[in-house]
């Protein structure tokens, strides 16, 4: 799959088709809106969804770690979807995964869903509100900050790409003047279609890789 290198705030970033950003100069991997345990929350509510979503997302992170060799992972909010119970197998899966990657520094910039679960129990450091990493400010909510260019999640941005008479709704990276948004990483997350505004750079995540939409 094709990655896409861009320059943002004077730094080179790699947009990865697994819906992640790699900041090579800092050996830092960024993802947003993982929503571990979402399938379990749905099933407890009586909504029939297949199991294995957390396991699939952990495998995707494993593959990113293997290919990019980051020393740090920063999650831009909503690592988990909701509260866990004693029967929530996903908690043990995530804890075991964290132990396998003990040498990688993993930080969560907490999002609105993370209030339901103590991620410290998973061996992950929680950072409230935002994390300055000049020239960027890493946040969950896509608000501009005077300290630097904001990279955020929360919105689950997506775009519609036309292929002849067919339309495809695809996850997207979105970059405005002061704020950039990552697509949601989690398997069971939805999309919020964003407009292709003047001055906005949008990159769609397709089966073949990351492509600009204009």
The CATH code of the domain that includes 44 is 3.60.21
Q: What is the pTM of this model?
A: 0.91
> Using CA atoms, how far apart are residues 139 and 155, in angstroms rounded to an integer?
12
- Report the distance separating Cα 24 and Cα 6, nearest Å: 12
pLDDT tens per residue across span 152-181: 999 999 998 877 778 888 999 999 999 999
Domain that holds residue 62: 4-212
pLDDT at res. 128: 92
114 pLDDT band (50/70/90 cuts)? Answer: confident
Share of the chain above pLDDT 90, in %: 63
The two tokens of residue 38 are: 């979402």
Task: Supply the mean pLDDT for the chain.
Answer: 87
State both tokens at 55: 């396991």
Query: E strands of 24-165, at which residues?
Result: 28-31, 72-75, 105-109, 125-127, 130-133, 136-139, 149-152, 157-163
**Domain count for the chain:** 1
What is the sign of the dihedral through the CA atoms of 94, 90, 74 and 7? positive
């Amino acid at each position: 799959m094709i990655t896409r290198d861009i320059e943002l705030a004077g730094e080179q970033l790699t947009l990865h088709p697994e819906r992640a950003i790699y900041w090579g100069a800092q050996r830092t991997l960024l993802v947003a809106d993982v929503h571990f345990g979402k399938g379990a929350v749905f099933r407890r509510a009586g909504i029939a969804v297949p199991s294995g979503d957390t396991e699939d997302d952990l495998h995707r992170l494993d593959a990113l770690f293997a290919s990019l060799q980051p020393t740090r992972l920063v999650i831009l909010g909503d690592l988990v979807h909701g509260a866990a119970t004693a029967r929530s197998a996903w908690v043990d899966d995530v804890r075991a995964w964290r132990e396998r990657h003990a040498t990688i520094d993993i930080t969560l910039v907490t999002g609105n869903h993370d209030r339901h679960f103590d991620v410290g129990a998973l061996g992950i450091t929680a950072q409230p509100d935002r994390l300055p990493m000049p020239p960027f400010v890493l946040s969950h909510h896509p608000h501009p900050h005077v300290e630097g260019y904001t990279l955020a999640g929360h919105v689950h941005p997506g775009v519609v790409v036309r292929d002849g008479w067919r339309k495809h709704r695809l996850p997207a990276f979105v970059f405005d003047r002061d704020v950039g948004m990552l697509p949601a990483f989690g398997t069971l997350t939805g999309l919020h279609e964003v407009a292709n505004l003047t001055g906005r750079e949008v990159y769609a995540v397709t089966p073949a890789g990351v492509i600009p939409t204009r």
